Structure formats: C-alpha cells, structure tokens
Structure 1
Amino acid sequence: MKRIGVDVGGTFTDLILVDEEAGRITVDKLRSTPEDPARAVVEGVRALCQKAGVQLSEVDNLLHGTTVATNIVLTYRGAEVGMITTEGFRDIIHIARHKKPYNFSLQLELPWQSRPLVKRRNRLTVKERVTVPDGEILTALDEDEVRERVRALRVAGVDAVAVCLLHSYLNPVHEQRIKEIVLEEHPDCYLSVSHEVLPLYREFERFSTVALNAYVGPRVSRYVARFDQALRADGFRHGIQLMQSAGGMATVESATLRPVNLLMSGPVAGLIGGIWAGRLAGFDNVVTLDIGGTSADIGVAAGGQLRMRHLLDTKVGDYQAMIPMVDIDTIGAGGGSIAYIDEGGVFRVGPQSAGADPGPACYGRGGTDPTATDAQLLLGRLRPDRGLLGGEMRLERDLAEAAMRNLADRLGMSVAEAALGALQIQKFGMTQAIELNSVRRGYDPREFVLVAAGGAGPLFACDIAMELEIARVLVPSYPGIVAATGLLATDLQHEFVATERHQLASADLDRLRARYQELTEQAERQLEQDGVPEDRRLVRRLADCRYAGQGYEVRFDVPGGEVDADWLAELAQRFHRAHEAEYGHRFDAEIELVNIRTVAIGQIPELRPDRLERGDGDPARALSLEREVIFDVGGQPDRRATRFYERDKLLAGDRIEGPAIVEQYDTTTVIPPGLVAEIDEFGNIVIDCSAGVSGARERGLELATPILMRVIGGACTAIAKEMAGVLFRMSYSSIIRESEDLGAGIFDAAGNVLAESDSTPMFMGAMPKIVKNVIRLLGDDIHEGDVILHNDPYGGATHSPDVAIVIPIFFEGGLTGFAGASAHLLDIGGAYPGLAI
C-alpha cells in the first residue's frame, strides 16, 4: 500500500509518501502558496511522487490537513450568507452571550457585530414553532413565506444559506421542508442546515456554528474540488480524506457538507503524529511541541489519548464554533516570529511573524526585522553554508546580524545577548503554553516525554524540557514532517450527537436505550457507506454530563453493553472521575446528562516503519564538522566547541554527548551541554535531559533584566488567567458563567496588583482594596494555609453578593503575597436584594 500525507502550514507545505511494500519513506517540503493553497498541494504531490519514483495512479490513499477554512475565518473572506430562522430570533447571533471578549477596551469591540457572519438584512424569519421537551409543533411552517424569503435572499446575491430554527434538534421536520424549498428556489447556493450540522441545544452556539459552516462552505468546497480534480487528472483514482478538528479523517463528501469541522484541521495532525512517534518509541504520555515558521502548536496526550475541548470553548477567531475539537493551544511563536521593543519599552518576541514572504532577514527576500530564525543563525545553531531544506534555501548571516544589531543597540546589549534573549523570551512563552495546556490541569511533567516536531521544534525542545522538568525529549525521524505523518496515522471518523437531558436519578432508560441505538445505527451506516471493511469498524459511545446547576458539561466515554440501572451507575462513576481529572474536585451532587454521542471509526492499517540498522554506539561516522556555537549558561551567551552530525548517517544505539547539533533535511536538533542523546531502533533521537533539569530554575533567575521582567510578568499573568478560568467553568452561578462576572489576581504583600485576569474590570478595580482591607483587619494574624472569605461592601466588595476569597502566599516562612478571586454569587444577604453600596 502507498499512502501520501500532505500538511499545509503558513510557511511550508510538508509531504510524506510511505511505500509499505518497498519499505521506503520519501519526504518533501516546499513553500506554501497562501494566495492559492491548492497549487502547493498539487505541485507538492507531483514533486513527491517524482522523487519517490511512483506514479500517482499507484497511490492508495491521500490524506490532507489544511488551514484553508481557518484562514477564511481569520481573514474575514467568507461567503455572503443568508439566514432563515424562526420569527422573533433574527438577532440571536447578533446578541450572543453576555460575556464580552475585550473587557478592558474603551471601544467595547464586539467582533461578531462589527464583522457579522450574516448581515442583518440577510437574516430573515418565518412563522413556525417547535417546542421542548419533545419537539411538539406549536405553529405550522408557512411554506409560502419561506419561498418569499428564499427568493429575497437570491435577489440579494447570497452565496450560501443557513437554516437555523428554534429547537430543530428535537424535531427537524420544518428545517427539512425549508431545505427542499431552498434547493428548488436557489439551487446554486451552498446550504447549511442546523439539524444536519449540529443537532444540539443552546441556540446561540448552534446558530453561530451553522452560520460559520455556511460562511466557509463555498470556498472550502471549491478548494477541495479544485485539487481533487487536478490530482485525478494526474491519475489518482481513490478518495481524498481531510483531517477534522476532532482528530479523525473525513471523506470529501463529509467535509463538503460540514466544512466547519475542518477549522482546526492543521494543528491536530501534529499532535496525532507526536502520539504515534511516542508510542513507537515506547512512550504513552506525550507533550507535542510543533513549531513551524509562523506559530507553535502545543498538545497533550495522557495515555496516548486525545484531550477534547469543552464545546463552549471552541472558538475560531472571533466566532463561536460548537464543534468537537482537540484541545490544542496555538501561539504566535515560530521561526519567523519578530523580536521588537514595544511602546512600553518591553522586549518582546511575536506574535507578529515575517511568514513565508518576505520571511526572516537571513532569507534575503527583503525582510529587515530580526526573527527567531535570525537568532538561531547568529548563535551558530544554523549554518549559512548549509541553509535550510538540505541546502535548497541559503541563509545570509550578514543580513541577520544587521537586523539584530538594530535591536541590540536599543537594548544596550551585544548582538549575541540580544539573539539569546529573543530565544529565551520565546522559549518562556512556549513553556507557559505547555503548562497551561498540561501541567496546571493535573498532569505531572515528569511522567511525560516532549515530542519535538516541526521545522523549529528540535531547536527549542531541550531548553523547554529542562524548564518543565521533563526528563526526555523525543525527536522523530522526520520532525519537520510529523504533522504529515500524523495524517497517515489517523482513522476515518464521524461523530453523531443528540441532546438528551435527564437527571440520572430519574433517567428514562427506555428512551436512552433507543436513542443510543439510533445513533449507533447511524454510525454503522456511515462506515458501510464509506466502504470500511467490517473488521476495521468501531463505534464508541460518549456522553456530556454535569452536576445539576452547573453550566459546563464534561465529555467522557460511557460503558458498553445494555443501557440499564447498572450501566447508569457506572456512567455516574465515570463522570465523577472525569470531573475530578478536569478540575481536581468532585461533588456529592445530582448528575445531569445533557448530550449523548456515538463516534464511527474506520481503523486504518497501522503505520510501522522499518527498524534502523544497529551501530557500535560511536557516532563518529556521522560527524561532519566541529565549530563554536553559543549556548545559554547562567543567562549569558557562552561559546562552546560543538560537534555537528548528519542524521542520515546515524545508526541505532549511537550515543551523542552534548553540546552537539544534528542536521537533516527538514530540521536541526540542538543538544545542549551536559545532555546525552541516543538513537533508538526506529531512528528516533531520545535525549536524556535529567542532567539539565536540576539547575534550570536557578539559571533562569540570572537572566538579563529586560528578559527577567518579561518572564516573571508572563508567569504571574498566566496564573491569574488560570484562576479565573477554573472559577468560570466550575461555577454554579449563572451570572458568572454567562457574563464572567468575576476577577482573579496575584498581589504583593502590601495588596498591590502584580497580575490580573482579563475578566470584569469592576472586580479587578475592587480586588486591591479587598486584599488591603484583609491586611488591615487581620494584621499579623495571617498564616500559611489560611483561606479568607469576604463580602463586605465597605471593605472593597461592590455589593453583598460579591464574594471574595483571599489566600496568603508564603515562601520560606515569610508572607510574600496573596492570590485572590471575587465573583458575583446569588443574593445572600443585606437590607435589600442585591444591596449595592
């Protein structure tokens, strides 16, 4: 079997061809073509096949990860969309939720209003009404009115129509009829119907998701059709599959119907590739760090399992998209990230990027800003004479030095110090992102391996691992192609969902049994339609539950077998465990089932590379040269004689002592002084970082002052944001979860703000007074382990329902500061309800 994986990034398009019969892997990389993404895909596939000596007609599978849908949303270049909805609900997607995105902005920007997915004049209503709890029809659909509305949208020139009726997830009959009428009256438009795209309750999130599906639908459909036709003209005979945000592949037909599921297609493949590489090397717990030219994607897989985001957290750009989405953080930290001094005089790196064009200064394509790639070149980790892509791209050191010198002079540093400082700041941002995505959610980093992926991942991985006390770094055989490899390790997947709200104590077992059976049959029909062999079909069952009164559900796998009382009891235990794993706490409270799901999986053949020839442990055969490279020692640049190795000459069992650099076609791996790497049986580089872990924190305290300020400030802000996030998600108070009516922060020993969450400004204005009032009242009677509860309006709270919790922070026996949070609960006392002072 011959399979191709194609991953399109912001800077490069990565390709891999695995020929299982010949036991050969071929990789290639070319610049992306943002103006026409399909061109890079088609040209890359042609070049890859030519390089491998394979005809495209011989290829059995072509799997693709794409950022096309994402870029449409981020650049506001979607279709002209019309919407047909229930009378009285025209402005649901305009009003949205009470929570606002920019709480501290004087302009109070609301992006979904200033850049609406559907202009108000194109949001038309019809008379109809379906009601809860069982989908009863209260008002019949006025079909003549529907025809008038569709004709009006056609005259208005809309390219796509979104059909979103109230409670259609319970009874879709009206939406089905509207779909038929739209196809009769406006057959050329793209059609997005809510019960087909997202049959779930919560009308705002459903309406927004379906509108987003219509917004990206026409361009995604054309993109897929264009490269599908071009590849078929070259002889490709099988179906193309595309990566979905949930971590499974979709057929072209499914992706065209629900392109909204492709919105995080690009980053997911890197995590799956990291899981595959880790499992191959014997590691189940992995953190993936996939650094490209523009951004870094960070994901965590405990036990080799993907972690999903909560459906209310799945935003793309400015818009809510309530779709299954793997929990991946993407930050603006890549090889092209620009180093600069902001208006406040703070040294920063990213998120602005030089991108593919003009690219870093050293590319010689007109870029003048210093970037992370320029810094790596100036420190000697990248070689001008070797360049990138095996010498296909030359690097100009003089241009990199000129760009970095401008920054260094403003900072009062040498060029080497500025370059090292830029990488330290960028490293810190990635470290914080990994902590937020993993460590601070209950995972112990010492139990994980860090998988370095992307063209720049292996350049940073060891330094980041030491900061996080991760003992091992895994650099796969083709780190720059990990995302493309991940596509070949991904199963075909479809998800089916239904809203079923039951209190577990009084759940209707007969109804639940029947509904799960319906979803299971849908899943099985889909796999049969896709031509998946019976022995490779799998159906998983899942549920979304919460404690009664909460607003956020937790998604988890449910037991197999018969849906009966024992099954229900086991479901409850699984939910308790899932909630505790997510938030570190479980309640002895009633559980509410909200949604049920099935996932249809078409398992692909396991991807197993050949084992590498075993050597004698001495990597001398791969040594290419020795030269000076600058490393971080105590926060200062230190020149060390460093050996450079050619990766394709390394054999299994070879042992490399740092400092060392390993070069290959798609990336460069940095092994800092004191660390040791070994090549495993599959050609992975496994780097033991334990020797560097113990001193990492001490070294970090010796950073140059502008860098230290950025690092400490970022850490405190991340802590404050995490405090607010946990409070928001676990809340029983509707005003907290609907409007984020809360504040959280870190304060010094005198009660002054060090860092705060970007929550309601009113609370953050009050929190310093609250903390200072606690200090005034308690004086020296503040001890380690105290938890102080406070709702006195005269002591800082704006009214009595605002309750604050203040916890003192001690270090080596001395009071060094406070952590505090305040939020609006239910009315709990005072002379009047909601007493305001």
Structure 2
Amino acid sequence: MARIGVDVGGTNTDLVLECAKGVFYHKVPTTLKNQSIGVVEGVKHICELAGIGASDVDLIVHGTTTATNITIEHNGAETGMLTTRGFRDILHIGRHKRPYNFSLHFAVPWQSQPLVKRRNRIAVSERIVPPNGEVETALDEGEVRAAARLFKRRGIRSIVVGFMFSFLNDAHERRAKEIILEEMPDAYVTLSSEVANVMREYERFSTAAMNSYVGPKTAFYLRDLESKLREAGVSAKLRIMQSNGGVSTVESCAARPIRILMSGPAGGVIGGASEGEMAGERNIITVDIGGTSADISTIPDGRLKIMNPRDTYVSGHPVLTPMIDLVTIGAGGGSVAYIDEAGAFNVGPRSAGSEPGPACYGRGGTEPTVTDAQIVLGRLDPDLVLGGDLKLDPALSHKAIEEKIAKPLGMSVKDAALGILKIINSNMALAIRSNSVARGIDPREFSILPFGGAGPLHGVALAEAVYAKDVIVPVAPGITAAVGLLKTDLQYEHTEAVIVELNAATDSQLARINHAASRLRERVMAELDDDGIPRERQHVEVVAECRYHGQGFELRATMPDGPVTQANKTAVVTSFHDQHQLDYGYSYRDADVELITLRAIGKASVDRLHVPKLRPTDGLDIDRALKFVRSTTFDDGSTLETPRYDKAKLLAGDRVPGPAIIVQHDSTTLVPPGYVAQVLDYGNMRVHRAGVA
C-alpha cells in the first residue's frame, strides 16, 4: 500500500510517501494561481523518486490553504442571504465586543469586509420561536421565490439561509433551500442549521455566510484537483485534512469548506505532536515556520487542544467550527524587512512568497527577506538549499539588505541582517507566550519543536527567548506538516442544540438529551459507513458543551458511556467544573450548570506512518558526515568558522557540538556555540546546552 501526504504552503508544497520501499520526502514550489497543478506535479515527482507508478498510490491526504487564502484575500463568492424579517442587519451589528477596546480608530471586519453585502441580504416572513421550535409565522414561500429570482438576476450563485431559532426547528430553512434550487438548480446553498446547528444567531449566521463565501471556489479546487489526479493516472482516494485534526472526503469538505479553514496548520500540529512522542517528550510547543507564516501551538501532556468557540475567528469573522488551538502570525522565510514611513525597522507580516520570492531567488524580487538575512549571515548555503535543486544568489541578498535597510539606517549589512532575525524571532516569541504563558503554561517545562523549511534555523533562539528547556528537531523538518497528514484519523462531527439545566433536569429532559445523542451518533456513523469504514473500526464519542448559567460561551464536558440518568448526570456536571478549573484556574462547584449543545465526534483509525529507526552510532568520529567549513555569524555578532554536516550520514547517538550547521534536503538546523545536537533513534535531534543532559 502506498500513501502520500501533501501539504500546500504559501511558498512550497511538501510531500511524504510511504510504500513498501520505505519513506520518501519531497518539495516542489507552490503554484499560487492554481495549487492543484503543483500538487499533481509533486505527486508524480515523488512517485518517480520512490520508483513506483502513480497508479500504485492508494491514498492521498491533502492539507490545503485554499479556503484560508480566500478569507485573507477577500476574494470569495458574491453571496446572497435570506433571513428572518427584522433581522437583516445581524451580520452588520455583530456583538458588543470591539477588536481593540481602547482605540477610537479601528476597522470592524464584519462591517468593512462583509461576507454578505447589505443589498444582498433579503428578509422574508417566517418565525420559529423558543423554547421548543414552534412555528409562529409560516414561511412565505412566494417571498423566498422572489428573492431567489432577484439573486439570479444579479448573477449571485452562492446563497446562505439563516433564520431565527432554526437550531430548534430547521423546517423553514430546508424548505427555503428547496425553493432556491427550483429557481437556481446550480446554486451553492448553505443552511445555518447544517453548518452550525447551535444557538447564537450572529455566530450561526456568520458561520453559514463564511461557508457560502468560500464554498464555490473551494469546491471547485477540490474537485479540480481530484480530476487532475485522475488525468495523471492517480486513482487513489483523496482525503482532506480538517481544522479539527481529522480527515474527511472531498464531497464533505466541498459542501462544508468551513471545516478546512485551518487545514494546513492542523497537519503540522499533529505531525509535531507525533515527533514529540517519538522523542519521548509530551510537553511540546510546535512552531511551524514556512515561507509566509508561523503557526504556533502548545501541546501539554501530548494532548491536542481544541480552541474555545469564542476564539474561533477567521479574518475577523466568528466561525463556529472545531479548530486545533493555534496562533498564526506573518513570520516566515519570505517575510519582507522594510523601513516604514516613521523610520521604524519592521519585518513582516507581508511575504515575498514563492513568486517573486526572496531577492536571492533571482526571480525579480528586490526586497530583503528573512531568507536573505540567513544567506548574508552564512546560515544558509546557497549551493545546498533543497539539496542544490534551488540555486540562490547571495549577491542579490547582500544588495537588497544593503540598499533597503543598511544604508537608510546607517548600519553594516551584517548588523542589518542580524536585526532582521532579532525582530522576526521577537515576533514569534511573543506569539509563543500568548499561546502558553498567557494561558497559565510554563514554557520552562516544554520543548520547542521547530519545523517547516525555516524552523530549525530559529529553534534555539526561540527556546532562549521563552526559556524553553530544549529544542526537538523532527526527522524531516520541512515536511513535518505533510507527515502529520499520514498520522491522523478520519473524523466527522455533528451538533444539536439541547438546552437543559442539568442540576434540575427532569426525566423527560434527560430523555430529550438521550434521544438527541442517539440521533447524532446515527448521523456520524452514517458518514463513516458511506466512507466504507466497517462498524468495528468506528468510534463515536458524544460530548456535552456546557456553561454556568448566564455565561457567554461553553466548555466541553464528558458524557457517560450509556444514557444520561438521574444517577449519573452529576458526572457531566463534575466534568464541566473540572474543565473550567483547568482552563481558567477556578470553578464554582455549587453553581447551576446548563447543557447547551451536544456534539458527536465519529472517528475511524487509519494505519499510521511508520518511520524506521536509524542505525546506532559506530562510535567513530562524526567527520564521516562533514561536508565543509564556512564562516557563519551567530546572534551575538561573532563570526566563526562553522562545519557543515550531512544529516543523512549521522547515526543514532551521534553528538554534534556547536558551532555547527546540519544540512538535509528539506531544512537546515543551526547549532550555536555552547549547544550540542544529539541524534535520536529515528533521526530526530535534541538540541540543548552543552553539559546539560
């Protein structure tokens, strides 16, 4: 069985292939105009590298940034909306929460960059009322039909339907969809009750609107990729990484693309957690540094954290879909260094990407980037990047930094390059603290796990900045996100609103909870059935999303294995108290706890990528791996003659003292003076201070 993981980044597309012949890694440039072209080319290349045919591949798992990029670039579909009369401006009003509490000058994303323009939001007569979803005002089907015809005349093909209290009764939304498709058979229609069947109309409407906004382009990309793979002779199943850390089918993700808004970064976090496990470390802070951005996630005790729903914003819009807890900032190898109008020295978040890329690429780029700074300081060897496949011109890096930074600021090119790295490292260190210290986690008990093409060049500097105990460098740092794609499971989720005060719940209310849980189980099992997963391999968990009475958002609590009864309902309440204590440092054990939403999570385990162990060291000198020696400048400004070692020739147990640079095809690891890189069993490395075990 041959399997491929493909992760598309802003600069490079990373691939890993596992087959009977072993594990193979590869990188190709990302084709930004149509990512599928680069993916197909990468798949063909890595098959050639492994000596197998494209038709021999059984499974491809893909992490994509297509939906994310649409939200960043604000180039989604022109979207129309049907909503309940009197609630046309919910998407404009939003919540009372301001992006910057004490600023009088700020943009409100949901107003300055609306997902649905006001003229395309049409209110119709209908009304469902709480608490049980009774119909107070019947749906005016004539108004729905007239709105659909208006959308058609305006050329709008993507439509969202969001009615008040549809999470209690979705009959009106489903009928509106039927009418729209009668008038516009090719329309892309999203119902709020399908993508976010929970209370809170603003967040529910926003989630549905985001789905319709990114849906048409994302669906086209996924289906186009599937088609291009078939044309290339690849008949493998195509699966897509979701934001929650599970994978799903093309059809499911095309219908609900909000599930893959954090598709790419999620694979990296899973890959990082796996690398930490192989190194025997359960407390890990992953730092995925690519060409465009840095994605940071804290993994305590080996457990991936799911972001609190109150924090799941994408481009300023709330999106109620489960996402792995991570922070993303504009910091990568392509981040541009510049002097702003006030004369301040900045780096990022703008990136040179892959076209034109850093100045050293020789593709017309003239602005200095982080990669150019690494070249000038001798930390990247122009003739070794990607095994020599990517030829870089150091003279262009020197020129860009000199003209754009050094001369205007009256400093040497070396100091300007060091300044670029200090700024970008400081930006990333602040993001690490926001995801750890600010949440009560002590980085001194954690290892920094840097990956992505640029990650291991920054690892030690970041560990020093946040006082982490050491650095774990993955087996293939530049491909770790792709590796994570082959270490995750199929996963589906469904929700249903069930609002019950648990402490005082009656038998009939408990029966309602149990019936809803049963329905949710059936839905996720049906999806796993459709995916060809036998029942014995299916695992379904139902969690309760609860809150203290009057709280704004919920936390997840564990449900009993069987039905909820008067005898065991206290277990749900206690689980909520414990989670609140863990997340916030306090709990109110005597307070009333409300169940708001039930969530069923269906999983199916898949075979995990198997990384073979390295041969143990022969005890001889590591000079067997020495390539050559070149001058390298370190963070303290010292320039030292620094050996380059070929990672492929290092064995398990080898120790590489700094200063040293360890080179492999997909990444470069910097070992500063006073540090040692120890090669571990699988080819991963632990970088720590000399003399510290």
Normalised-by-shorter TM-score class: over 0.9
Q: 1:527 is matched with which residue?
A: 528
**In structure 1, distance between residues paired with 2:321 and 2:411:** 48
Secondary structure in 2 matching 1:306 = coil
Aligned-residue offset at 1:673? 1.0
Q: Deviations over 1:265-295 (max 9, x none)?
A: 1111111110111112222221111101111
- Given that 2:676 and 2:690 are in contact with CA atoms closer than 8 Å, whether structure 1 keeps it comes out as no
Q: 2:424 is matched with which residue?
A: 426
Q: 1:398 is matched with which residue?
A: 395
- Given that 1:7 and 1:15 are in contact with CA atoms closer than 8 Å, whether structure 2 keeps it comes out as yes
| 1:187 pairs with one of 176, 180, 185 | 185
Q: Is the aligned partner of 1:334 residue 2:340?
A: no
Q: 2:562 is matched with which residue?
A: 561
Q: Is the aligned partner of 1:4 residue 2:4?
A: yes
Task: Rate the CA distance shift 1:556–1:303 in 2: closer, same or farther, 3 A.
Answer: farther
Secondary structure in 1 matching 2:669 = strand
- Given that 2:483 and 2:609 are in contact with CA atoms closer than 8 Å, whether structure 1 keeps it comes out as no
Letter aligned with residue 630 of structure 1: T
Aligned-residue offset at 1:9? 0.6
Q: Deviations over 1:497-540 (max 9, x none)?
A: 11222222112322222221221222222211211133321112
Aligned-residue offset at 1:187? 0.3
Q: Is the aligned partner of 1:627 residue 2:625?
A: no
Aligned-residue offset at 1:103? 5.5
Secondary structure in 1 matching 2:320 = coil
Q: Deviations over 1:735-787 (max 9, x none)?
A: xxxxxxxxxxxxxxxxxxxxxxxxxxxxxxxxxxxxxxxxxxxxxxxxxxxxx
Provide the aligned length of Structure 1 versus Structure 2.
Answer: 687
Secondary structure in 2 matching 1:63 = strand
**In structure 2, distance between residues paired with 1:233 and 1:417:** 51
- Given that 2:356 and 2:364 are in contact with CA atoms closer than 8 Å, whether structure 1 keeps it comes out as yes
Q: 1:200 is matched with which residue?
A: 198
Q: Is the aligned partner of 1:574 residue 2:570?
A: no
**In structure 2, distance between residues paired with 1:519 and 1:209:** 20
- Given that 2:109 and 2:315 are in contact with CA atoms closer than 8 Å, whether structure 1 keeps it comes out as no
Secondary structure in 1 matching 2:635 = strand
Letter aligned with residue 582 of structure 1: D
TM-score (norm 1): 0.80
**In structure 2, distance between residues paired with 1:199 and 1:413:** 58
Aligned-residue offset at 1:105? 6.1
Letter aligned with residue 289 of structure 1: V
- Given that 2:362 and 2:392 are in contact with CA atoms closer than 8 Å, whether structure 1 keeps it comes out as yes
Letter aligned with residue 393 of structure 2: E
TM-score (norm 2): 0.96
**In structure 2, distance between residues paired with 1:578 and 1:690:** 40
Aligned-residue offset at 1:690? 7.4
Aligned-residue offset at 1:660? 0.9
Aligned-residue offset at 1:104? 6.2
Q: Which structure exhibits the higher relative contact order, with contacts defined as CA atoms closer than 8 Å and separated by 6 or more residues?
A: 2
Q: 1:473 is matched with which residue?
A: 471
| 2:26 pairs with one of 25, 28, 34 | 28
Q: Deviations over 1:336-356 (max 9, x none)?
A: 112223333332221122221
- Given that 2:159 and 2:190 are in contact with CA atoms closer than 8 Å, whether structure 1 keeps it comes out as yes
| 1:110 pairs with one of 89, 108, 112 | 108
**In structure 2, distance between residues paired with 1:59 and 1:458:** 31
- Given that 1:102 and 1:109 are in contact with CA atoms closer than 8 Å, whether structure 2 keeps it comes out as no
Q: Which moved more, 1:3-12 or 1:433-442?
A: 433-442
- Given that 1:162 and 1:191 are in contact with CA atoms closer than 8 Å, whether structure 2 keeps it comes out as yes
**In structure 2, distance between residues paired with 1:261 and 1:527:** 16
* Superposition map of 1:194-273 within 5 A: 194-273=192-271
Q: 2:674 is matched with which residue?
A: 674
**In structure 2, distance between residues paired with 1:360 and 1:187:** 46
Q: 2:490 is matched with which residue?
A: 492
Q: Is the aligned partner of 1:611 residue 2:613?
A: yes
Aligned-residue offset at 1:590? 2.2
- Given that 2:555 and 2:579 are in contact with CA atoms closer than 8 Å, whether structure 1 keeps it comes out as yes
Letter aligned with residue 3 of structure 2: R
Task: Rate the CA distance shift 1:566–1:345 in 2: closer, same or farther, 3 A.
Answer: farther
Q: 1:374 is matched with which residue?
A: 372
Q: Deviations over 1:523-580 (max 9, x none)?
A: 2222112111333211122222222222122234434333123432222222222112
**In structure 2, distance between residues paired with 1:74 and 1:31:** 21
**In structure 2, distance between residues paired with 1:236 and 1:627:** 44
Q: Is the aligned partner of 1:384 residue 2:372?
A: no
**In structure 1, distance between residues paired with 2:524 and 2:257:** 19
Q: 1:826 is matched with which residue?
A: none
* Superposition map of 1:6-155 within 5 A: 6-19=6-19, 21-22=20-21, 24-101=22-99, 109-155=107-153
Secondary structure in 2 matching 1:541 = strand
Q: Which moved more, 1:559-568 or 1:431-440?
A: 559-568
Secondary structure in 2 matching 1:565 = coil
**In structure 1, distance between residues paired with 2:195 and 2:357:** 39
Letter aligned with residue 646 of structure 1: D
- Given that 2:241 and 2:264 are in contact with CA atoms closer than 8 Å, whether structure 1 keeps it comes out as yes
Secondary structure in 2 matching 1:89 = coil
Letter aligned with residue 629 of structure 1: T
Aligned-residue offset at 1:148? 2.0
Q: Deviations over 1:151-180 (max 9, x none)?
A: 222122111111111111111111111122
**In structure 2, distance between residues paired with 1:114 and 1:465:** 39
**In structure 1, distance between residues paired with 2:124 and 2:692:** 66
Secondary structure in 2 matching 1:613 = coil
**In structure 2, distance between residues paired with 1:373 and 1:492:** 36
Aligned-residue offset at 1:469? 2.2
Q: 1:411 is matched with which residue?
A: 409
Aligned-residue offset at 1:224? 0.9
Q: Deviations over 1:332-374 (max 9, x none)?
A: 1111112223333332221122221221122222222221111
**In structure 2, distance between residues paired with 1:34 and 1:466:** 35
Q: 1:811 is matched with which residue?
A: none
Q: Deviations over 1:581-632 (max 9, x none)?
A: 2122222422222211110011111222111111224322111112221112
Aligned-residue offset at 1:32? 0.9
Letter aligned with residue 389 of structure 1: L
- Given that 1:292 and 1:454 are in contact with CA atoms closer than 8 Å, whether structure 2 keeps it comes out as yes
Q: Which moved more, 1:25-34 or 1:549-558?
A: 549-558
- Given that 1:163 and 1:192 are in contact with CA atoms closer than 8 Å, whether structure 2 keeps it comes out as yes
Aligned-residue offset at 1:195? 1.4
Secondary structure in 1 matching 2:568 = helix
Backbone CA RMSD of aligned residues: 1.8
Q: 1:796 is matched with which residue?
A: none
Letter aligned with residue 418 of structure 1: A
Secondary structure in 2 matching 1:201 = coil
Q: Deviations over 1:666-705 (max 9, x none)?
A: 1100011111121111111122247699xxxxxxxxxxxx
- Given that 1:361 and 1:369 are in contact with CA atoms closer than 8 Å, whether structure 2 keeps it comes out as yes
Letter aligned with residue 609 of structure 2: L
Structure with the greater alpha carbon radius of gyration: 1
Task: Rate the CA distance shift 1:656–1:548 in 2: closer, same or farther, 3 A.
Answer: same
Secondary structure in 2 matching 1:188 = coil
Q: 1:601 is matched with which residue?
A: 603
Q: Is the aligned partner of 1:649 residue 2:649?
A: yes
- Given that 2:40 and 2:232 are in contact with CA atoms closer than 8 Å, whether structure 1 keeps it comes out as no
- Given that 1:473 and 1:689 are in contact with CA atoms closer than 8 Å, whether structure 2 keeps it comes out as no
Q: 1:827 is matched with which residue?
A: none
- Given that 1:536 and 1:604 are in contact with CA atoms closer than 8 Å, whether structure 2 keeps it comes out as no
Secondary structure in 2 matching 1:276 = helix
Letter aligned with residue 676 of structure 2: V
Aligned-residue offset at 1:409? 3.0
Q: 1:590 is matched with which residue?
A: 592
Unaligned runs of 5+ in 1: 694-837
Q: Which moved more, 1:119-128 or 1:26-35?
A: 119-128
Task: Rate the CA distance shift 1:344–1:333 in 2: closer, same or farther, 3 A.
Answer: same
Letter aligned with residue 395 of structure 2: D
Q: Deviations over 1:449-491 (max 9, x none)?
A: 2212100000000121122222221111111011111111111
Q: Deviations over 1:377-430 (max 9, x none)?
A: 1111111232x2111112222221122223123333322222112211211111
